[in-house]
C-alpha cells in the first residue's frame, strides 16, 4: 500500500493530474508502491471539483489557481511549459521540491536534468533551484543507450530520426488522431481533422514537432541535441535529429545511426545494450528482430532491435528503438527520480 501514515513519507502533489502524464503517474505510484502520506491532485479550473479515486481513496481535483504548496514536499508538474514557468517558482518558494515534466527549466544551469539510469549522481542533494527537470520523451531512451556506447567506443556522431506518437500531444492528440483516421477512412479526399496537428495526422506523417526555429530545425530537434549533451555531460556531443509525428497512438520509435571512434563488434554491442537496466534487446537471439509500438511488450522497458554494424564502416551502427513516451519519456522517469531522492534521504 503506497498510502502510509508514516510521518517521514512525503506529501505529494500531481499538477496536471487529469492529463495523460498525470493519470499515468498516479497509476505508477500505485503499481510501484511509492509511499506517500498525503496526495493533492491539481489541474485547471476546467477539472476543479472532479473526483478521482486512487488506491480506493477519492480525491477532489484542486484548481491550480490559488493552490497552496506549503503542505507539499514534492510536486510533479505535467501541465505544459507556460503553466510551469508561472507556477513552479511559486511552488518552490512555498517549500515544495518540484519534478518538472515540461521544457521550462531543462536548460537552467541550477536545475539538474535527470535520467536516473544515466546521471543519478545529480540526485545526491536538493538542487539549488529546488527543481529537477525531466527530459524530453525522445531524449530519455536515446541517452540511456548512448551512455554505455560512449563509455565503450566513444561517440563521434549520432544521426537520429524519430517516429513520435500522437499521445505526445496529450489527450487532445490521441482524440484527434482517432477522429482524423475515421474521417479519412470515410472519405479519402477529406482534409482530415487538424487542430492539434497540422496538417491532419490521419494516414500521414508530419516532419515538424513543436515550433520552427530560425535555423530550420524545430524546437523538438534542438531539445534532443541540447538535452543529450547536458545529461551525458558531453557539451560537444554531435547529435542531429529529424523529429516526425506519425499516426501511432502511443510509444515513440527512433532510428539511430551512431558512429564511434573505434570499430564496434555487433555481438559485444548487443550484450552491452541488453545488460543495461530496464532495456530489452529483441534481436539478441534472432538477428533482425524488432519491437514496434504495438508489439514491443513491457511498457516500462526501452526496446531495441535491428542492431546492425555497417560492413563498409565498422565504426558505425544502426539501432531501432521503441519506448513508451508517456511512461519512459515522462511519468516513469519522474517517479524514478522521486524514488532515488527518497532512497537517498533527500526527500
Ligand atoms: N504526453 C507525453 O508523452 C509527454 C512526454 C513528456 C512530457 N510531457 C509534458 O507533460 C505535460 C502534460 O502533457 P500531457 O500529455 O499529460 O497533456 P494533457 O493530456 O493535455 O494534460 C494536460 C494536463 O494539464 C492540465 N492543465 C492544462 N492547463 C492548465 C492550467 N492552466 N492550469 C492547471 N492545469 C492545467 C490539464 O488539466 P485540465 O483537465 O483541467 O485541462 C491536464 O491535467 C506537457 O507539458 C507535456 O509537454 C508529455
Q: Check whether residue 109 and residue 219 sit in a common domain.
A: no
User: Is 191 a residue whose pLDDT tops 90?
Assistant: no
> pLDDT tens digits for 246-276?
999 999 999 999 999 999 999 999 999 999 9
Whole-number percent of the chain with pLDDT over 90: 96
155 inside domain: yes
Residue 305: CATH number of its domain? 3.30.360.10
Are 161 and 66 contained in the same domain?
Answer: no
Q: Both 337 and 292 in a single domain?
A: no
If one residue of 41, 44, 174 were mutated to test the ligand 1 pocket, choosing by the most ligand atoms within 8 A of its CB, it would be 44
Same domain, 264 and 246: yes
Residues in Cβ contact with 27 at an 8 Å cutoff, skipping those fewer than 6 apart: none
pLDDT over 70 for what percent of the chain? 100
User: With a 6 A CB cut-off, is 329 part of the ligand 1 pocket?
Assistant: yes
Residue 84 and residue 69: Cα distance in Å, rounded?
14
Count of residues for the chain?
347
Domain assignment present for residue 197? The answer is: no
| pLDDT, mean of residues 281-287 | 92
Residue located via cell numbers 558505425? 316
**Residues 114, 151: one domain?**
no
For residue 220, count other CB atoms closer than 10 A to its CB.
25
Range of the domain at 290: 139-165+205-324
State residue 6's pLDDT score.
Answer: 86
Is residue 119 classed as helix, strand or coil in its secondary structure? helix
The reply to whether 58 falls in a domain is: yes
pLDDT band at 159 (very low <50, low <70, confident <90, very high): very high
Residue 87 lies in a domain: yes
Per-residue model confidence as pLDDT tens digits over 305-321 = 999 999 999 999 999 99
pLDDT, one tens digit per residue, over 3-15 is 888 899 999 999 9
Q: Yes or no: say if 194 and 274 are a contact pair by the CB < 8 Å rule.
A: no
Dihedral, CA of residue 259, residue 236, residue 321 and residue 340, to nearest 10: 140
* Helix/strand/coil for 201: coil
Residue located nearest, by CA, to atom 14 of ligand 1: 170
Distance CA 310, CA 66 (A): 57
> 206: Cβ–Cβ under 8 A, 6 or more apart, which residues?
197, 198, 199, 244, 245
Q: Is residue 177 part of a domain?
A: no
pLDDT value at residue 113 = 98
Active site residues: 137, 252
Q: Are residues 312 and 339 in the same domain?
A: no
The atom of ligand 1 lying closest to the CA of 23 is: 16
Is residue 213 in a domain? yes
Does the structure show a pLDDT above 90 at 192? Answer: no
Q: Are residues 24 and 156 in the same domain?
A: no
DSSP run (H or E) holding 239:
strand 239-245
CB–CB of 145/279 below 8 Å? yes
Q: Is 110 within the bounds of a domain?
A: yes
The verdict on 149 and 78 lying in the same domain is no
Let me know whether 18 and 143 are in one domain. Answer: no
Q: What is the DSSP letter of 218?
A: B
Residue 112: half-sphere exposure toward Cβ, Cα within 13 Å: 23
Q: What is the pLDDT of residue 1?
A: 66
| Residue 158 cell numbers, joined | 549520432
CATH number at residue 100: 3.40.50.720
What DSSP state is assigned to residue 10? P
For ligand 1, atom 4, the nearest C-alpha belongs to 168
Let me know whether 118 and 37 are in one domain.
yes
Q: Are residue 39 and residue 115 in the same domain, yes or no?
A: yes
pLDDT (average), residues 222-232: 98
Rounded to an integer, the average pLDDT of 41-68 is: 97
Distance 257 CA to ligand 1 centre (A): 32
Q: Which residues of 37-59 are buried (b: 16+ CB within 10 A; e: fewer)?
A: bebbbbbbeebbeeebebeeeeb
* Index of the ligand 1 atom closest to the CA of residue 48: 40
Are 109 and 144 in the same domain? no
Residue 191 lies inside a defined structural domain of this protein: no
Q: How many domains does the chain have?
A: 2
Is residue 333 in contact with ligand 1, taking CB distance under 6 Å?
no
Averaged confidence pLDDT in the chain: 97
- Residue 81 in contact with ligand 1 by CB distance below 6 A: yes
> How far does Cα 63 stand from its chain's mean position?
25
What residues contact residue 144 under an 8 Å CB cut-off, 6+ apart? 115, 117, 118, 276, 279, 302
At 190 the pLDDT is 87
Ligand 1: which of 15, 16, 63, 336 to mutate, judged by most atoms within 8 Å of the beta carbon? 16
Q: Of ligand 1's atoms, which has the minimum distance to the CA of residue 19?
A: 21
Distance between Cα 44 and ligand 1 center (Å): 10
Atom of ligand 1 nearest to the CA of 21: 16
SS (H, E, C) 259-277: EECCCCCHHHHHHHHHCCC
Which letter does DSSP use for residue 331 in this model? I
Does ligand 1 come within 6 angstroms of the Cβ of 183?
no
Mean pLDDT, to the nearest integer, of 71-81? 98
HEC-encoded secondary structure of 33-90 = CCCECEEEEEECCCCCCCEEEECCEEEECEECCCCCHHHCCEEEECCCHHHHHHHHHH
Pocket lining: 59 vs ligand 1, CB cutoff 6 Å: no
Amino acid at each position: 500500500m503506497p498510502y502510509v501514515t508514516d510521518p517521514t513519507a512525503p506529501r505529494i502533489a500531481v499538477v496536471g493530474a487529469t492529463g495523460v502524464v498525470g493519470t499515468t503517474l498516479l497509476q505508477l505510484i500505485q503499481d510501484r508502491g511509492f509511499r506517500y502520506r498525503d496526495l493533492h491532485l491539481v489541474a485547471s479550473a476546467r477539472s476543479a471539483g472532479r473526483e478521482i479515486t486512487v488506491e480506493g481513496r477519492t480525491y477532489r481535483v484542486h484548481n491550480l489557481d490559488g493552490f497552496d504548496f506549503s503542505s507539499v514536499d514534492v510536486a510533479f508538474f505535467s501541465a505544459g511549459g507556460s503553466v510551469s514557468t508561472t507556477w513552479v517558482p511559486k511552488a518552490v518558494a512555498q517549500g515544495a521540491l518540484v519534478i518538472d515534466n515540461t521544457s521550462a527549466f531543462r536548460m537552467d544551469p541550477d536545475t539538474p536534468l535527470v535520467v536516473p539510469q544515466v546521471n543519478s549522481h545529480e540526485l545526491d542533494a536538493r538542487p539549488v533551484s529546488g527543481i529537477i527537470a525531466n527530459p524530453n520523451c525522445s531524449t530519455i531512451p536515446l541517452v540511456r543507450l548512448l551512455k554505455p556506447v560512449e563509455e565503450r567506443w566513444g561517440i563521434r556522431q549520432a544521426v537520429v530520426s524519430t517516429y513520435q506518437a500522437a499521445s505526445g500531444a496529450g489527450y487532445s492528440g490521441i482524440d484527434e488522431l482517432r477522429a482524423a483516421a475515421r474521417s479519412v477512412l470515410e472519405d479519402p479526399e477529406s482534409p482530415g481533422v487538424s487542430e492539434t496537428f497540422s496538417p491532419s495526422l490521419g494516414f500521414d506523417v508530419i516532419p515538424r514537432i513543436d515550433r520552427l526555429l530560425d535555423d530550420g530545425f524545430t524546437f523538438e530537434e534542438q531539445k534532443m541535441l541540447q538535452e543529450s549533451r547536458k545529461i551525458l555531460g558531453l557539451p560537444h556531443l554531435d547529435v542531429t535529429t529529424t523529429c516526425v509525428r506519425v499516426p501511432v497512438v502511443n510509444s515513440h520509435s527512433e532510428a539511430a545511426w551512431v558512429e564511434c571512434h573505434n570499430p564496434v563488434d555487433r555481438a559485444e554491442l548487443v550484450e552491452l545494450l541488453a545488460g543495461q537496466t530496464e532495456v530489452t534487446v529483441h534481436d539478441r537471439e534472432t538477428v533482425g528482430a524488432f519491437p514496434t509500438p504495438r508489439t514491443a511488450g513491457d511498457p516500462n522497458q526501452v526496446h531495441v532491435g535491428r542492431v546492425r554494424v555497417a560492413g563498409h564502416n565498422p565504426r558505425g551502427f544502426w539501432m531501432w528503438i521503441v519506448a513508451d513516451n508517456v511512461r519512459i519519456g515522462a511519468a516513469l522517469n519522474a517517479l524514478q527520480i522521486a524514488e532515488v531522492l527518497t532512497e537517498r534521504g533527500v526527500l
